[in-house]
Amino acid sequence: MKKLTLLLACVIASLAQVWSQVTISLENFHIQRGSDIVVKYSNGAGNQKDYIGIAPLGQAITGIPGGYTTTYAYLDNPGSQEGTCTIPANNMGATGDGYYWAVYLLDDGYNAASDYIPFYYGDEVPQNESPVLSVDECTPDYTTITFTDNELWRMLIKEISVDGEVLSPDDYAVEAGALYVLKDLTSAGSLTITAWDHPDATVQLNASAVETELLVDNIRFHNNQLVIAGAQSSIQSVAVYALTGALLQTYKVASEETTIDLNYLNSGVYVVLLKGNTTPQAIKIIIRH
């Protein structure tokens, strides 16, 4: 069910990009008070009264109470399919410093023909905190990253990269508290989310990339090796399974510390079943070479 949900989320995100045919951009993300706001556009609709609307970040422009523009301006060259729209500085008036977004609107109406593009208007650049990322699932089909939801941070996400390579927006979807990536990241090292006015948020995608990871009490994973403190652990045996359910190997745990070297396994995700005096426990590990 979770996989179906994230597939639908990514499909919806892709369809939204198809429907948003006009592309707009701003020369600068931070716009100082007293400066004109210049929006570039391409693939315009060609209507004489197409315009750029500005509203507080997160507020859709609908033309009904609670959905009005903060300000707007018609295109510098009405009817052109490519060009600029200049919103004079005095149009913002006494509007407070803060985050806003711009959108291309059709023919003096409220139908958006582009994505909403965020920017900050004001003199002092704010310092914001990014949430901590956690890997919920990492499989050959998809990866789920969770975080304490931060709506401002989500709306200001600029790009997402894996080991320094920027992902295409078609490869992921972001929703409240979760990021879904429809790529095989089982052999990747780390994922980084870059958002305007926030420090980068980075998470290690595999256990072997972490210097030492405590999986459960007295069991650590380091350099593709399981280390079990036998004297302090109730674990008596360990079984390693592929994600297909195939049993790959079993090991007995000695009374002293036991090290199980798993470097012979190919890079990927595996399940380790711990058996002992208590209920068997399954944990996921990621082998990376």
Predicted confidence (pLDDT) per residue in 34-53, tens digit: 999 999 999 999 999 999 99
pLDDT attached to residue 207:
45
What ranges do the domains of the chain cover? 19-121, 135-205, 208-287
3-state secondary structure 39-87: EEEECCCCCCCCEEEEEECCCCCCCCCCCCCCEEEECCCCCCCCEEEEE
Which residues have a Cβ under 8 Å from the Cβ of 165 and sit 6 or more positions away?
Answer: none
Please state which of the four CATH numbers 2.60.40.2840, 1.10.443.10, 3.30.465.10, 1.10.645.10 is assigned to the domain occupying 19-121.
2.60.40.2840
Residues in the chain, pLDDT under 50: 1-20, 207-212
pLDDT in tens, 63-107: 998 899 999 999 999 999 999 999 999 999 888 899 999 999 999
Q: Cα separations (Å) of 24 from 27, 73, 162? A: 10, 14, 26
pLDDT attached to residue 78:
96
pLDDT attached to residue 233:
60
Which residues have a Cβ under 8 Å from the Cβ of 101 and sit 6 or more positions away?
Answer: 54, 55, 56, 57, 58, 116, 117, 118, 119
Q: pTM for the whole thing?
A: 0.65
Cβ proximity of 136 and 177 under 8 Å:
no
Neighbouring-strand partners of residue 276: 235
pLDDT attached to residue 283:
80
pLDDT attached to residue 4:
45
Cβ proximity of 121 and 168 under 8 Å:
no
pLDDT attached to residue 26:
96
- Whether 135-205 and 208-287 share one fold: the answer is yes
Round to whole Å and give the CA distance between 159 and 157. 6
Write down the architecture of domain 135-205 according to CATH.
Answer: Sandwich (2.60)
Closest to 218 measured CA to CA, from 132, 262, 281: 281
Which residue stretches of the chain are H helix?
2-19, 151-155
User: Which DSSP symbol is given to 13?
Assistant: H
pLDDT attached to residue 98:
95
Cβ proximity of 287 and 262 under 8 Å:
yes
Amino acid making up residue 146: T
Name the class of domain 208-287. Answer: mainly beta
